[in-house]
Amino acid sequence: MLFKENKIVCFGRYALLVPKEAQIIWGKTSFPSEIDFLKGNTVFMKKKITQDIETMRRHDNDVEITYNDGGPIEGSWQIRYYEDKAAKQLNLYLFKTYINKQDFIFLLTGGLDPITGQSEEQALAREVRRAKSLRVRTEADIPAEEGYCIEHGFMASSFYGDQEMVNVGIYLPSLPDVTFSISSNKDAYADYPKEEFEKKKVEELSVLARVRQAQQEQGVMYPHRTVLREGKRSVQHWHGEESLIKRPNGVHDFEWGFVGTPKDVANPSEFIVNMYTKVEHNMVGAAKAASLTDDEAVALWDKLLSGLKFRVKVPGAPEGSYYFLPTKTAQPPRAIDEGKR
């Protein structure tokens, strides 16, 4: 009966089929750098900016704020700064762009990437594109265009070369002790040489490799567990592994993981899903009892996991791994001059 009425929720480039009652809980999101969300108007945004500047100065007296003025679009503000003298010597130039849309404030962090030799003009132009791509959306608004779903917002983009990270949880009011969470990091381990990464992928990173490693390291001290199911598990085209166990205290501890290829948007190098029961006050095992039997927990896990797909097709994604074909290709605005201040 839980799935009698369904809906689709979106996060990052992904979408998930969930019961109508489900609520999405947002964690850290990066596209390509971290995006924060607050509720508030222009007055609140001004207070937030003042507080953030005070916090910067308390953290380090050597902070150098080089720009503190209007942002790249209407209703926005931008701070550009070096955290300290060492950061300035290393050319670690950071930005904070505050954007007020309706009753929401979106905070886009960013900065100059000295590793790529990026110029200040290029970095500022990217912030202009990010700001212009942002629009407000409701949870029921599932865009059928290329881009990235964030909390209460959407950033339209057909560029796939930047880092992308998203972390969300799903809360089911009728099953308050159950948590279901998804974490994706497209470019995890991108700094590893290819051969080293492939070795690490097999020996350390996969779900079953981590289980084996823990068993070897802990030996007789490895905690007792009841294995409900364990082995290879494909979700769409992601050929991963799962471990579904029940702890002695009655907690269902389920994990699925896929290790793809760094910088491959269709196959993120770190993709993890977890589900727990007997959760209370964000503490696993704190509830008096699990609301689901073993069979019910496995059935819920299978139903939720099978509904995990891309929201719209991305390069390299096979048919069936996405909910929609993109209705249009979102082109980032070419506004380099607008990034100059």
13-72 residue pLDDT tens: 999 999 999 999 999 999 999 999 999 999 999 999 999 999 999 988 899 999 999 999
For the chain, helix, strand, coil in percent to 5 are 25, 40, 40
Q: Look-up: residue for tokens 């003042």?
A: 50
- For residue 219, is it left (φ>0), alpha (ψ between -120 and 50) or beta? left
Residues spanned by CATH 3.30.160 within the chain? 33-137
Check: CB of residue 235 under 8 Å from CB of residue 318.
no
Q: Which residue has the tokens 């990464």?
A: 197
Q: What is the pLDDT of residues 302-330, one digit of tens each?
A: 999 999 999 999 999 999 999 999 986 44
How high is the pLDDT of residue 328?
A: 62
Q: How many CA atoms lie within 13 A of 20 on its CB side?
A: 4
In degrees, rounded to 5, the angle at the alpha carbon of residue 170 between the alpha carbons of residues 165 and 172 is 175
Closest C-alpha among 247, 29, 51 to residue 150: 29
% of the chain exceeding 70 in pLDDT: 96
d(CA 186, CA 162): 9
pTM for the model stands at 0.91
What per-residue confidence (pLDDT) applies to 203? 87
In which band, very low, low, confident or very high, does the pLDDT at 299 lie, cut at 50, 70 and 90? very high
Among residues 123, 122, 121, which one has the least CA distance to residue 108?
123
pLDDT of 208 strictly over 60:
yes
Task: Average the pLDDT over 273-298 and give the result.
Answer: 97
Q: Is residue 143 pLDDT above 50, yes or no?
A: yes
Measured from the Cβ of residue 37, the count of other Cβ atoms closer than 10 Å reads 14
| Residue spans in the chain of domains classed CATH 3.40.1000.10 | 6-29+161-324
- Sorted by sequence, the CB contacts under 8 Å of residue 157 that are 6+ apart come out as 31, 129, 133, 146, 147, 148, 330, 332
Q: Per the omega criterion (within 30 degrees of 0), is the bond before 315 cis?
A: no
Question: Alpha-carbon dihedral of residues 339, 30, 139, 24, nearest 10 degrees?
Answer: -160
Please state, in angstroms and as integers, the Cα–Cα distance from residue 146 to each residue in 101, 171, 269, following that order: 21, 27, 21
Of the candidates 286, 323, 16, the one whose C-alpha atom is nearest the C-alpha of residue 171 is: 16
Most confident by average pLDDT, 118-127, 149-158, 212-221? 149-158
**The two three-digit tokens of residue 152, written as one number:** 């209460």
**pLDDT over 60 at 194, yes or no:** yes
Amino acid at 118: Q
DSSP secondary structure string for all residues of 157-172? -----S--EEEEEEE-
DSSP code of residue 337 = G
Quote the pLDDT of residue 341. Answer: 32
Q: What is the mean pLDDT of the chain?
A: 93
Task: Convert the pLDDT of each residue in 224-260 to its tens digit.
Answer: 999 999 999 999 999 999 999 999 999 999 999 999 9
Question: What was the pLDDT predicted at 120?
Answer: 87
What is the CA 287 to chain-centroid distance, rounded? Answer: 27
Q: Could you confirm whether domain 33-137 is CATH 1.10.3470?
A: no
HSE at residue 305, side-chain half, CA atoms within 13 A, is 27
The architecture of the domain spanning 6-29+161-324 is: 3-Layer(aba) Sandwich (3.40)
